[in-house]
Amino acid sequence: MITRRELLKTAASAAMASPLLARPSIAAAAQAGAAPATANPRGPLGLGASAAGFGSRTRANRAATPPVDWIDYCYRMGYGGAETREPPTDPAEIAALRKKLDAYRMRVVFDFPLPKTDADVPRYDALVKASKDVGAIGLRAALTQRRYEAFDTFDAFKASFEENKAMVARAEPVLRKHKIALALENHKGWRSAEQAAWLKGLGSEYVGVLFDFGNNISLCEDPMETLDNLLPLVHMCHIKDMAVAPYEDGFLLSEVPLGDGFLDIRGMVAKLRQKDANMPFDLEMITRDPLKIPIFTDKYWVTFDDTYSPLPGRDVAHVLKLVRDNPPKAPLPKTTGLSAEAHLALEDRNNQVSLEWARKNLNL
């Protein structure tokens, strides 16, 4: 008899262990051409790659016997879409993946590096074409790290931002050629006004925003303000809920299961659906230790100035008030000290709970 410990080593363990997320077997569904009963393939909640532990689930999938495909895993968990890395470029593999996605009625978003130089453009072109041939609804990119951790000087941040702009400008003709959009995530690198001004200046229908519900809290923005600034440019979303708590150098920021944090998720989803009734939402419930947002340290402030990248004091006061007024409903989640198996089990639980909350409260 297979043990629970062994189940946790397979990528399908959560789906098999939970009647709530029971699905037809992958093999049976593929053989019969069956698919989940879905009115709109873009409607159901998808699963972002970062919701799978920054690759821990992907590694577990590959280590399973036999290995478990990421698309199969997302399907068995009950998700209607998946974010993944590069598409296949072999024609037979492209056709096979498209057939699988059609059978599952799943959408897919690919994420691969933008061209840093002109020499990178041909490979980028091939990957964009392959993405379009697979039937991807778009491409996603997170071009920045956390700016308050990544840079020690303002000049280094500014040079990085200009490099980001150059890569996107180099990619845009390829996107336009293949008529597929790139969505740039607000990934703790740019304040929303900076990102919006840049992309409006670029003026391309093929470059927009992947709106993350919580990331810009780390840059002292109210989540609804971030949404309002970026809304005209949003192509797709990372839906999540956030909890906050003070610590000596600033505040802690954690993803928590949907409904357990302080974000106005229903209000944000309503705004996004008003813009696009078929707005794609991918869950990004990252199970990890709380992030430290060290706003009381000098290093946090080196990437801001009064002209190129301002951070008004009123915004800092507002986010500190949010922290004060929204104590966490439970202790912030931590994964330090957990075994790999326990981490994966907690990750799967958080993703399941969030999926069920979204189905019940958001019709996702």
Lowest mean pLDDT among 43-57, 182-196, 272-286, 308-322: 43-57
Task: Tell me if 192 sits within 8 A of 226, measured CB to CB.
Answer: yes
How do the residues of the chain divide into helix, strand and coil, expressed in percent and rounded to 5? 50, 15, 35
pLDDT above 90: residue 86: yes
Residue range 161-190, pLDDT digits in tens: 999 999 999 999 999 999 999 999 999 999
**Contact in structure between 36 and 80 (CB atoms under 8 Å):** yes
**Cβ atoms of 61 and 70 closer than 8 Å:** yes
Higher pLDDT, 122 or 5: 122
pLDDT at residue 3 is higher than 70: no
Q: How many residues make up the chain in this entry? A: 364
Assign 297 a pLDDT band (cuts: 50, 70, 90).
very high
| More confident call, 190 vs 15 | 190
Q: Which amino acid is at 22?
A: A
pLDDT band at 30 (very low <50, low <70, confident <90, very high): very low
Cis peptide before 66 (omega within 30 of 0): yes
Quick check: 35 and 28 in contact, CB under 8 A?
Answer: no
Lowest mean pLDDT across 28-32, 313-317, 347-351: 28-32
Q: Residue 69 pLDDT more than 80?
A: yes
Mean pLDDT over all residues of the chain?
Answer: 88
E-strand ranges in 112-249 read 138-141, 182-185, 207-212, 234-239, 241-247
Q: Which residue has the higher pLDDT, 51 or 315?
A: 315
Domains plus CATH for the chain?
Answer: 4-362 (3.20.20.150)
Torsion of CA 123, 124, 125, 129, to 10 degrees: 110
Phi, psi of 138 (to 5 degrees): 170, 180
The residue that leads in pLDDT, 245 or 38, is 245
